Chains A and B, each alone.
Chain A
Amino acid sequence: MGLELKRVVVTGIGVLSPVGLSITDFWNALMEGKSGAAPISYFDTTGFATTFACELKNFKADEYIDRKSADRMDPYCQYGVISAEHALKDSGLDLTSIDPTRIGVVHGSGIGGMTVYDQQFRQYLERGPRRVSPFFIPMLIPDIAAGQISIRNGLMGPNYATASACATSLHAVMDAVMLLQMGMADYMVCGGSEAPITPMSVAGFNSAKALSTRNDAPAKASRPYDVDRDGFVMGEGAGSLVIETYESAVRRGAKIYAEIVGMGASADAYHLTAPHPEGLGARSAMSTALNMAGITPDKIDYINTHGTATPLGDLAEIRAIKKVFGDHAHKLSISSTKSMTGHLLGAAGVVESIACILALQNQTVPPTINLDNIDPEIDVDVTPNKPKARSIEYALNNGFGFGGHNGCLIFRKAPAV
């Protein structure tokens, strides 16, 4: 490569997940193997094939944002704004002392404001077009979280959302890294948020046969790699990172969580919703990321998989991992934290990247829970039910989305300063 790329590090983290609303609670829940799934409380699920999901627990937007502002945000936007502001605070950046045009935001959502869409469409049907709120459009659009983060915090650098379904926030982080490396910003806030637990979205994913229907045992429903897996469990929440160059972090004495050393992106070019059976696109995303990191596959110690617990997807990804990693696929640790958090769709990538970063920090692999009978086709270590202490230098995170979008990030343990 002719271009000398700057090293990029993570210096701030914010996470709102169904198993914890702070970094500490999130990590502790992963270590305890806690499930975030429970019966849906947001709407009457009579007639729905699936009646449970991973909702945020004890979350009240107005504990974080004033009520008037919160009322003008769809939940997806509230989550994004709150996690981004947590990450900014965690980074220790003094926003009053930096050039506002040099700090930007790439924050995505797979869907956008589903709740406000449901409400306002009902309003239109019942009361006509003149009763549709003037805030409907600016609450609905999937870029408004990025916009709100900038408006509320005065961040005037590059600002937009990515949209690649369940790979959305991985692509947001990638874009943010590239913006730093191209010199278009000095600091970036990046990540994604999703609030998909609405009647239309649950009904739609049910019709696509994507969701688990284990209604009698929600906490047991998200079971990647288990023979009895029957689809994913919908989750909601957000994750955000503050990233900057290594030099910048050292100069201001910031705490460094990890370095982002590799990135890969690809498409399956195969099917709307089904993964390529051999994981062709996933393979190329992982290979590209390893190549960029300049490491051989045997350096990777931990893979946080997309692993949604769909019958086809889990196998395709493990096949792809075995192709890319060869024998080493049997030596590294693999887990799907979706077994605990559920699938946060557009926010999944960054929340699982945060799991990787915390795994590097704690030198511990979070488990895949609900593994009672491992699928006989899965002959790799998927870290069943209990966390595993091991030396981790590099962690890799996969994320794949409807449309065949693939994303892959590789994180390295924080460099010694």
Chain B
Amino acid sequence: MSAAEITDKVYDIIVSKMGVNKDQIKPESKFADDLGADSLDTVELIMELENEFGVQIPDEDAEKIGTVQQAVDYIVNKK
């Protein structure tokens, strides 16, 4: 899967889980501050990323994923 495809898929997951429009999402968007995610939303988002991309994201890694770009980079590196 290319980085562009991964980015696209990450955006789709954010749209479905966060109830935001795709054009509101930017690479630097912070899940908590910019996309309105609370602590439970964040846990669910990480689970959805694991699910969708077939990767395991340990809690200590999950804590470092604060922005959309960080999520995309993490998946790209794992793939």
Contacts and interface: CB of A to CB of B under 8 A. Distances in A.
B40 A66 contact: no
Interface stretch (A131-139, A227-235, A276-284, A342-350): A131-139
Nearest to B18: A68
A135 B19 contact: no
Contacts of B19: 66-69, 71
Interface in A64-81: 66-69, 71
B40 A138 contact: yes
A134 B47 CA distance: 9
Measured as residues with beta carbon below 8 angstroms from the partner, the interface class of chain B is under 10
A134 B43 CA distance: 7
B51 A135 contact: no
B40 A134 contact: yes
Interface in B1-51: 18-19, 40, 43-44, 47, 51
What's the dominant secondary structure at chain A's contact region?
Answer: helix
B44 A135 contact: yes
Interface string A363-391: 00000000000000000000000000000
Contacts of A66: 19
Given A66-B19, A68-B18, A68-B19, A131 B51 contact: yes
Given A66-B19, A67-B19, A68-B19, A134 B51 contact: no
Contact of A131 (B18, B40, B47): B47
Interface in A85-133: 130-131, 133
Nearest to A71: B19
Interface string A43-84: 000000000000000000000001111010000000000000
A276 B33 CA distance: 58
Interface in B37-79: 40, 43-44, 47, 51
Interface in A135-178: 135, 138
B13 to A, nearest CB: 13
Interface of B: 18-19, 40, 43-44, 47, 51
Which 4 A-B residue pairs are closest in the complex by CB-CB distance?
A: A68-B19, A134-B43, A134-B40, A134-B44
9 contacts: A67-B19, A68-B18, A69-B19, A71-B19, A130-B47, A131-B47, A133-B44, A134-B47, A138-B40
